C-alpha cells in the first residue's frame, strides 16, 4: 500500500490497474482531484455534482467514483509549505487517472508553471483537445457545426523544451561562437538562442496515440500538421516519422494520402484510416474553409498550441474547451482556461471546460454511457439558454445563471 506524507488514501474504492496494456477499472475507482486556485473550487464543486449524477444515472447506482483530494497551488502552499508537493505527483502516478482545476502561474518568476512541471514529471507527452460545437453557442463563423476535431499536440519537445539562452549571456555567446567556428553558421552577436529538438521517440509515441484514438473510435483520418517545407529536419521529420509509424504499426488499417491515388483511385477503402499531412499555414486556412475534412490532428508542440486555440475560437471560444495531458497510461484531465482570479468564489463562471474534461475522463475509463449523458444534457441546457454570464452576454438578451445553477440545469436534463 502506498504511503503519503500528509494524505490519507480513501478507505473504500480501488486503484486503477493496468493489465495487457489496458486500464482495469472496477465499479468504484479512486480518482484523485485537485481543486485548483481562483475559480477552481467553484467549477470543481459544480462539475463533481454533474459527473456523480451522470455515473449514478447511467449505471443505476452500481458504479461510483471515489474522490481523493490532492493539493497543488495555494491550498498546497498552506498545507505543505510548497506549491507542488511530492505527495501530489506520486498520487497521480499511482492512481493513474486524475483531474484538476486551473492553477496560478506567477508572471516573471517565482516558480515554473505547475502545469508544465506536472506534465514533465509525469511524462504526459500528449496534450489532447477535442473541439466540437454545441448548438446555440454564438460563434464567429457561419458553420461552426462543421468543426469536430481532436487535436493531439506533442507536449515535451520543440521550442517548448525550455532550452534557451538570453542575449548577451556567456552561454549565448559561446553557442554563437561554436556555431560560427565549427559549422560556419553566422548568427548576429546580439541574439538570444533557442533550441528546437524533435525526436523520433517523441514523434512516434504521439502519432501512435493519435492513430490508436482514431482506430478505437472509428474516425476517418489522422492529419500530420508541420512546417516541414522550411524546417526540414524537425518539422519535416515529424511528418516523415509519422507516416513511417503509420506504415510500420498500423499498415493494415491505414492508407497514406499518396497511396489513395496511386493504389485506390482516390476511393478510400472501407474501414481504413486516411493518413494525410498539411503544412501548418495551409492548415489554418483549411480548418476555416474545409473544416469537415479533418478529424484527428497530430502536431508538434508550437503548431499544436496555436491550432488548438484557433479551432476553439471557431466553436465559440475557450470557455467550453476541455483538455487532457496523457502519457503511456497516466492521464491528467484539466480545464483549459486559467484561474480567472477576479471571479473567485463568486459562483459565476462557466464550469463547462472542466465538466467536458471530466467527460473525456469518463471515456478514458470506458464509462461511455455516463459521458454521453453529460454531453447530451449540456447541449440541451445550452439550447434552453440556461448559461453562465460569458455565454449569456454573447447570446444577447439572456439572463445569466450561476456556476452551480448551470450544473443543476445539466443534471435536470439528463435522460436515462
Ligand atoms: P484566465 O484565468 O483564463 O482568464 C481570462 C479571462 O477568460 C477571464 O477574465 C474571463 O473573461 C475568461 N474566463 C476564464 N475562465 C472562464 C470561465 N470558466 N468562465 C467564463 N469566463 C472565463 O486567464 P489569465 O487571466 O490570463 O490567467 C489567470 C491565471 O491562470 C494565471 O496565473 C495563469 O498562469 C493561470 N492559468 C492556468 C492555466 C491552467 O492551470 N491550466 C491555464 C491558463 C492560465 P472575462 O473577464 O471577459 O469575463
Residues 389, 221: Cα–Cα separation, whole Å = 37
Whether residue 94 is predicted with pLDDT greater than 90 in this model: the reply is yes
What are the C-alpha distances in Å from 387 to residues 318, 347, 352, 410?
A: 15, 13, 10, 10
Q: What is the pLDDT of residue 108?
A: 55
Ligand 1 pocket test target in 339, 382, 393 with most atoms within 8 Å of CB: 339
Whether residue 416 is predicted with pLDDT greater than 80 in this model: the reply is no
Q: Are strands 126-132 and 322-326 parallel, antiparallel or unpaired?
A: antiparallel
Ligand 1 pocket test target in 338, 391, 402 with most atoms within 8 Å of CB: 338
Instruction: Calculate how far, in angstroms, residue 323's C-alpha sits from the geometric centre of ligand 1.
Output: 15
User: N- to C-terminal Cα distance for the chain?
Assistant: 38
Question: Does the annotation mark 160 as catalytic?
Answer: yes
Question: Does the annotation mark 305 as catalytic?
Answer: yes
Residues 31, 65: Cα–Cα separation, whole Å = 7
Ligand 1-lining residues (CB < 6 angstroms): 39, 102-105, 115, 319, 334, 337-340, 349-350, 390
pLDDT: is 162 or 298 the higher one? 298
Cβ contacts of residue 398 below 8 Å, gap of 6+? 385, 387, 391, 392
User: Whose CA is closest to 127, among 361, 295, 305?
Assistant: 305
Given 160, 213, 243, 389, the catalytic residue: 160
Burial label, 233 (beta-carbon count in 10 A; 0-12, 13-18, 19+): exposed
Whether residue 413 is predicted with pLDDT greater than 90 in this model: the reply is yes
Whether residue 112 is predicted with pLDDT greater than 80 in this model: the reply is no
Instruction: Calculate how far, in angstroms, residue 309's C-alpha sits from the geometric centre of ligand 1.
Output: 14
Instruction: Calculate how far, in angstroms, residue 70's C-alpha sits from the geometric centre of ligand 1.
Output: 22
Q: Which of 122-126, 259-263, 380-384 has the lowest mean pLDDT?
A: 259-263
* Nearest Cα residue to atom 34 of ligand 1: 105
Half-sphere exposure of 282 (CA within 13 A, CB side): 11
At 207, list the grid cell: 502519432
Kindly give the number of the ligand 1 atom that is closest to the alpha carbon of 342: 9
At 111, list the grid cell: 516558480
Ligand 1 pocket test target in 36, 334, 337, 401 with most atoms within 8 Å of CB: 337
Residues 143, 192: Cα–Cα separation, whole Å = 43
Give 63-121 as a DSSP string: ---EEEEE--THHHHHHHSSSS-HHHHHHHHHH-EEEE------TTSSS--HHHHHHHH
Mean pLDDT to the nearest integer, 138-154: 95
Residues 404, 393: Cα–Cα separation, whole Å = 18
Q: What is the pLDDT of residue 394?
A: 86
Whether residue 162 is predicted with pLDDT greater than 90 in this model: the reply is no
Segment 274-332, tens digit of pLDDT: 999 999 999 999 999 999 999 999 999 999 999 999 999 999 877 788 999 999 999 99
Mean pLDDT to the nearest integer, 104-114: 69
Instruction: Calculate how far, in angstroms, residue 36's C-alpha sits from the geometric centre of ligand 1.
Output: 12
Whether residue 382 is predicted with pLDDT greater than 80 in this model: the reply is yes
Segment 37-77, tens digit of pLDDT: 999 999 999 999 999 999 999 999 999 999 999 999 999 99
Percent of the chain with pLDDT over 90: 88
Q: What is the pLDDT of residue 397?
A: 86
Q: What is the pLDDT of residue 116?
A: 82
Residues 213, 81: Cα–Cα separation, whole Å = 40
CB distance 339 to 115 below 8 Å = no
Instruction: Calculate how far, in angstroms, residue 39's C-alpha sits from the geometric centre of ligand 1.
Output: 9
Residue-averaged pLDDT of the chain? 94
* Nearest Cα residue to atom 41 of ligand 1: 102
Residues 353, 149: Cα–Cα separation, whole Å = 16
Whether residue 106 is predicted with pLDDT greater than 80 in this model: the reply is no
Given 17, 111, 232, 281, the catalytic residue: 281
Instruction: Calculate how far, in angstroms, residue 312's C-alpha sits from the geometric centre of ligand 1.
Output: 15
Segment 338-378, tens digit of pLDDT: 999 999 999 999 999 999 999 999 999 999 999 999 999 99
Mean pLDDT to the nearest integer, 155-171: 91
Question: Does the annotation mark 227 as catalytic?
Answer: yes
Mean pLDDT to the nearest integer, 396-405: 95
Q: What is the pLDDT of residue 11?
A: 94
What angle, rounded to 10 degrees, do the helices at 352-365 and 403-412 form? 40
Whether residue 273 is predicted with pLDDT greater than 80 in this model: the reply is yes
Whether residue 219 is predicted with pLDDT greater than 80 in this model: the reply is yes
* Nearest Cα residue to atom 6 of ligand 1: 340
Mean pLDDT to the nearest integer, 11-17: 96
Amino acid at each position: 500500500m502506498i504511503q503519503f506524507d500528509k494524505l490519507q488514501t480513501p478507505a473504500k474504492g480501488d486503484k486503477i490497474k493496468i493489465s495487457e496494456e489496458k486500464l482495469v477499472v472496477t465499479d468504484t475507482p479512486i480518482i484523485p482531484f485537485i481543486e485548483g486556485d481562483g475559480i477552481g473550487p467553484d467549477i470543481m464543486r459544480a462539475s463533481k455534482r454533474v459527473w456523480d449524477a451522470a455515473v449514478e444515472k447511467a449505471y443505476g447506482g452500481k458504479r461510483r467514483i471515489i474522490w481523493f483530494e490532492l493539493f497543488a497551488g495555494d491550498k498546497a502552499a498552506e498545507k505543505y509549505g510548497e506549491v507542488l508537493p511530492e505527495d501530489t505527483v506520486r498520487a497521480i502516478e499511482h492512481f493513474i487517472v486524475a483531474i484538476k482545476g486551473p492553477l496560478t502561474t506567477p508572471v516573471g518568476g517565482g516558480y515554473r508553471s505547475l502545469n508544465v512541471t506536472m506534465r514533465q514529471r509525469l511524462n504526459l507527452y500528449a496534450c489532447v483537445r477535442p473541439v466540437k460545437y454545441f448548438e446555440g453557442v454564438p460563434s464567429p463563423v457561419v458553420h461552426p457545426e462543421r468543426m469536430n476535431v481532436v487535436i493531439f499536440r506533442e507536449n515535451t519537445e520543440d521550442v517548448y523544451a525550455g532550452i534557451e539562452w538570453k542575449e548577451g549571456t556567456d552561454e549565448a555567446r559561446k553557442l554563437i561562437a561554436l556555431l560560427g567556428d565549427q559549422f560556419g553558421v553566422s548568427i548576429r552577436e546580439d541574439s538570444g538562442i533557442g533550441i528546437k529538438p524533435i525526436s523520433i521517440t517523441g514523434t512516434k509515441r504521439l502519432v501512435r496515440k493519435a492513430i490508436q484514438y482514431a482506430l478505437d473510435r472509428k474516425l476517418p483520418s489522422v492529419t500530420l500538421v508541420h512546417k516541414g517545407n522550411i524546417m526540414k529536419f524537425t518539422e519535416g521529420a515529424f511528418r516523415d516519422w509519422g507516416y513511417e509509424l503509420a506504415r510500420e504499426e498500423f499498415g493494415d488499417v491505414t492508407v497514406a494520402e499518396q497511396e489513395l491515388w496511386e493504389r485506390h483511385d482516390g476511393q478510400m477503402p472501407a474501414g481504413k484510416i486516411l493518413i494525410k499531412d498539411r503544412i501548418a499555414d495551409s492548415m489554418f486556412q483549411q480548418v476555416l474553409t474545409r473544416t469537415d475534412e479533418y478529424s484527428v490532428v497530430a502536431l508538434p508542440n508550437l503548431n499544436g498550441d496555436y491550432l488548438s486555440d484557433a479551432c476553439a475560437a471557431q466553436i465559440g471560444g475557450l470557455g467550453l474547451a476541455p483538455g487532457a495531458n496523457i502519457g503511456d497510461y497516466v492521464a491528467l484531465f484539466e480545464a483549459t482556461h486559467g484561474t480567472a482570479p477576479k471571479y473567485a468564489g463568486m459562483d459565476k463562471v462557466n464550469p463547462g471546460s472542466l465538466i467536458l474534461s471530466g467527460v473525456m475522463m469518463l471515456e478514458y475509463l470506458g464509462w461511455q454511457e455516463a459521458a454521453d449523458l453529460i454531453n447530451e444534457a449540456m447541449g440541451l441546457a445550452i439550447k434552453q439558454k440556461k448559461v453562465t454570464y460569458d455565454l449569456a452576454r454573447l447570446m444577447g438578451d439572456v439572463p445569466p445563471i450561476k456556476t452551480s445553477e448551470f450544473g443543476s440545469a445539466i443534471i435536470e436534463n439528463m435522460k436515462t
